[in-house]
Amino acid sequence: MDDLDGQRILVVGATGMVAGPVVRHLAQHNEVWGAARFKSRRARAALEDAGVRTAVLDLAEPDFSPLPAEVDYVINLAVSHAPSFSDALASNAENLGLLMAHYRDARAFLHCSSTGVYQANGAHPMREDDPLGDNHRAMLTTYSISKIAAEVVARLSSRLYGLPTIIARLNVPYGDCVAWPSMHLECILAGQPIQLIPGEPSVYSPIHSDDIVRQIPLLLAAASVPATTVNWAGPDVVSVQDWCAYLGGLVGKEPVIEYTDAALPSVAVDVARMEELIGPARVRWQDGMRRMVAASHPEIDLVPAP
Ligand SMILES: NC(=O)c1ccc[n+]([C@@H]2O[C@H](COP(=O)([O-])OP(=O)(O)OC[C@H]3O[C@@H](n4cnc5c(N)ncnc54)[C@H](OP(=O)(O)O)[C@@H]3O)[C@@H](O)[C@H]2O)c1
């Protein structure tokens, strides 16, 4: 399955940063439903303009009645950053189980997890069976624990309902949209500090939205019972220090790095299982980040010119 065509697809968290390019692409050839709380009316209108059917869903207290009764595929790209553990566990984990129960007859369910579920271990490239931990506690109190809990709910629901499921642990997404690297770019342009952990380079495996969009049908095709868990990451391991230096070079500004224990630890990943299942991501980080700068700041003459 290279791409999806003529399918009924529900994307939960449809207004999010990762979902944006995904729903726009899928809506070209499929019946796509986008669900979220729609805190932003403008975001909802933009989706509808792109041909996406929208329905309000609050995973804190889900009411599935506005959603289609049946779909072929469900892609869960929602995440709640609620500061209370009981709220975050309910929205991200417990009620994911209700969503999977509701769509138990779907052909496949893609649950987007995070490489922020791994126990921090310096520059070690994380494998899927490496220890889990409270990786993001320094900045996002409930994130890692509720993402780990969500994986368990997805695994159990897959077995309970015989629902083919894939749990894709996403690394740092970026593209021609607001994301962590683009926030770094804005800091560099504004001369503001970028906070990183002291003592070692902060390494990640960033993945471009072109690869995310292209690989979603491949991930759905790899869904299974019991669920498959796989890292979802780009082709290069690169440090934030290196990508900031590169971005700074493109725009002719020196990044300001501030070292603090309150920053996130490194999470680079081993992509062997991913490459075996769905093949490699293709967009190399320098190409992707150069495109990101050109898209978000067309007024800047990049250095050196292409
Ligand atoms: N961004 C990253 O750097 C990163 C890195 C690794 C993994 N991930 C994973 O990638 C996925 C997408 O992340 P993202 O960065 O695109 O997130 P995002 O930009 O924060 O978007 C989150 C989406 O979830 C929706 N949402 C939030 N609370 C909800 C609730 N209670 N009920 C229903 N919908 C709710 C939001 O819309 P409303 O607010 O309108 O409801 C929005 O559509 C998540 O699973 C995340 O853990 C992201």
Q: Which two tokens stand for residue 298?
A: 């067309």
Q: How confident is the model at residue 178 (pLDDT cuts 50, 70, 90)?
A: confident
- Cα 81 from Cα 39, distance rounded (Å): 14
Residue 106 placed within a domain: yes
pTM: 0.98
Shared domain for 216 and 265, answered yes or no, is no
Same-domain pairing of 22 and 160: yes
pLDDT tens readout for residues 270-293: 999 999 999 999 999 999 999 999
The atom of ligand 1 lying closest to the CA of 115 is 6
- Only one residue has tokens 């504004």, namely 190
CATH number of the structural domain spanning residue 119: 3.40.50.720
Q: Is residue 3 part of a domain?
A: no
Shared-domain flag, residues 258 and 222: no
36/65 same-domain check:
yes
How much distance in Å is there from the Cα of 36 to the middle of ligand 1? 9
Nearest CA to ligand 1 atom 29: 80
Considering the domain architecture, whether residues 146 and 73 belong to the same structural domain is answered as yes
- Pocket lining: 59 vs ligand 1, CB cutoff 6 Å: yes
pLDDT of residue 305: 58
Q: Compute the distance from residue 11 Cα to the ligand 1 centre, in Å.
A: 11
Q: pLDDT at position 140, please?
A: 96
Interval between CA 14 and ligand 1 midpoint (Å): 8
Mutate to test the pocket of ligand 1, among 10, 11, 15, 18 (most ligand atoms within 8 A of CB): 18
Say what percent of the chain tops pLDDT 70: 99
How many Å apart are CA 61 and CA 91, to the nearest integer? 8
Q: Do 198 and 118 reside in the same domain of the chain?
A: no
Give domain status of residue 304, yes or no: no
Within a domain: 302:
no
Q: Are 57 and 161 part of one and the same domain?
A: yes
CATH assignment at residue 250? 3.90.25.10
* In a shared domain, residues 152 and 220: yes
Residue 239 has pLDDT above 70, yes or no: yes
Domain annotation covers residue 303: no
State the distance from the centre of ligand 1 to the C-alpha of 299, rounded, in angstroms: 30
Asked whether 64 lines ligand 1 (CB < 6 A), one says: no
Q: Is the CB of 78 under 6 A from ligand 1?
A: yes
- The answer to the question of residue 276 being in a domain is yes
pLDDT class of 177 with cuts at 50, 70, 90: confident
Task: Verify cis geometry, omega within 30 degrees of 0, for the bond prior to 306.
Answer: no
The answer on 77 and 51 residing in a single domain is yes
Q: What is the mean pLDDT of residues 189-214?
A: 98
**Nearest protein CA to atom 41 of ligand 1, as residue:** 37
Nearest Cα residue to 174 out of 205, 143, 138: 205
Give the position, in ligand 1's atom list, of the atom nearest the Cα of 13. Answer: 43
Model confidence pLDDT, tens digit, residues 254-266:
999 999 999 999 9
Q: Are 112 and 18 in contact (CB under 8 A)?
A: yes
Q: Are residues 105 and 187 in the same domain?
A: no
Q: Is the pLDDT of residue 198 over 60?
A: yes
Mean pLDDT of the chain: 97
Residue 248 included in any domain: yes
Mean pLDDT of 70-89: 98
Q: Which domain holds residue 279?
A: 175-204+235-296
Ligand 1 touching residue 37 (CB < 6 A): yes
Q: Please indicate, yes or no, whether residues 88 and 39 belong to a single structural domain of this protein.
A: yes
CB of 100 closer than 8 Å to CB of 154: yes
Q: Is 306 inside a domain boundary?
A: no
Whether residue 166 sits in one domain with residue 139: yes
Q: Report CA(39)–ligand 1 centroid distance (Å).
A: 12
The total number of structural domains in the chain stands at 2
